């Protein structure tokens, strides 16, 4: 009889739906405004990192854009001899993912590598955004530069000086293996055609990390060598970890229900009463 009364008591209490309120603290992160500078020069077609340096770069960047926080905004600049703003700062990752697909399938070659021109365009984008929406000035501004490091422009030092003055860190990912590799430019009858020199021999691209190291060190960012696809994934994981800053916390009131525990207790008591 005592077991039966206890089980009925649990059922009655469960119908009353006892609850307890508590507060949970949620981290508020400072929004990030990041300009992605992606090298699209012919050397980025080298296949020492499969399927190619450029294709692997667009793939990894796309993976991380899909995981962005709602307040983060990203822009995209492609560069070779000239730089091109493909996407202004936007909170919609699909806009940038569209251009990633475009760059992956682009067949026209654009020679040269002008990192300084890409930095200049990025600074202009940040300045334009500040004029258009002053409320975003408190967002953290960063650059993410992905290249094999071969700079042939004349603007780098001037733009690097401005980057340092504005205290915008540049996180540089140097993609490519140490050894020289040929540069594929076309495919004919199922056979890959490589860029050749005056002597008809394939030209080899090398991985020059000194420029990327200088940009990262002087701007207060960090340099990441990515000689494999896995290293590139790890580099982007660390970049998002390093750039994320806590802006504060907010309290959220939540309620915990206790009736499921009472129902389980009543069920167990009935089983014991029934002799199971």
Instruction: Give Cβ neighbours of residue 219 (< 8 Å, ≥ 6 apart).
Output: 143, 160, 163, 164, 168, 169, 170
Instruction: Yes or no: say if 269 and 10 are a contact pair by the CB < 8 Å rule.
Output: yes
pTM of the complete model? 0.79
Q: What does the pLDDT read at residue 107?
A: 63
DSSP 77-111: EEESSSEEEEEEEES-HHHHHHHHHHHHH------
**Surface-to-core class of residue 231, CB atoms within 10 Å of its CB (0-12 exposed, 13-18 middle, 19+ buried):** middle
Residues 195-240 have pLDDT tens digits of 777 777 887 887 778 889 999 999 999 999 998 888 988 998 899 8
Torsion of CA 48, 49, 53, 54, to 10 degrees: 130
d(CA 63, CA 232): 12
| pLDDT confidence of residue 33 | 93
- What are the residue ranges in the chain where pLDDT is below 50? none
Contact 241, 217 (CB under 8 A): no
Q: How far apart are the first and last CA of the chain?
A: 16
Query: For position 174, what pLDDT does the model report?
Result: 93
What domains are there in the chain, each with its CATH number?
2-18+258-274 (no CATH), 28-248 (3.40.50.410)
Other CB atoms within a 10 A radius of the CB of residue 30 amount to: 15
Residue 156: what pLDDT? 86
Q: How far is the C-alpha of 35 from the C-alpha of 119, rounded, in Å? A: 9
Distance of CA 195 to the CA centre of its chain: 32
The pLDDT value given to residue 47? 87
For residues 37 and 146, is the Cβ–Cβ distance under 8 A? yes
CA separation for the pair 77, 75 (Å, rounded): 7
């Amino acid at each position: 009889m005592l077991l039966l009364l206890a089980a009925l008591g649990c059922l009655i209490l469960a119908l009353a739906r006892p609850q307890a309120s508590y507060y949970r603290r949620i981290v508020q992160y400072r929004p990030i405004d990041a300009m992605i500078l992606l090298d699209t020069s012919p050397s980025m077609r080298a296949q020492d990192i499969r399927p190619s340096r450029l294709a692997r770069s667009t793939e990894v960047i796309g993976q991380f854009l899909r995981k962005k926080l709602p307040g983060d905004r990203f822009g995209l600049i492609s560069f070779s001899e000239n730089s091109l703003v493909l996407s202004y700062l936007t909170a919609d990752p699909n806009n940038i993912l569209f251009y990633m697909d475009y760059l992956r399938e682009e067949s026209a070659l654009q020679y040269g590598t002008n990192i300084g021109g890409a930095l200049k365009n990025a600074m202009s984008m940040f300045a334009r955004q500040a004029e258009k929406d002053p409320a975003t000035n408190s967002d953290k501004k960063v650059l993410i530069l992905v290249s094999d490091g071969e700079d042939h422009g004349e603007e780098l030092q001037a733009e690097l000086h401005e980057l340092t003055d504005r205290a915008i860190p540049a996180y540089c990912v140097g993609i490519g293996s140490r050894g020289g590799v040929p540069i594929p430019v076309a495919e004919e009858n199922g056979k890959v055609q490589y860029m050749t020199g005056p002597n008809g021999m394939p030209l080899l691209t090398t991985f020059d990390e000194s420029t990327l190291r200088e940009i990262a060190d002087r701007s207060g960012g960090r340099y990441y060598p990515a000689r494999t696809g896995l290293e590139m994934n790890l580099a982007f994981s660390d970049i998002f970890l390093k750039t994320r800053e806590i802006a504060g916390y907010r309290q959220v009131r939540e309620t915990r229900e206790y009736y499921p525990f009472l129902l389980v207790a009543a069920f167990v008591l009935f089983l014991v009463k029934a002799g199971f």
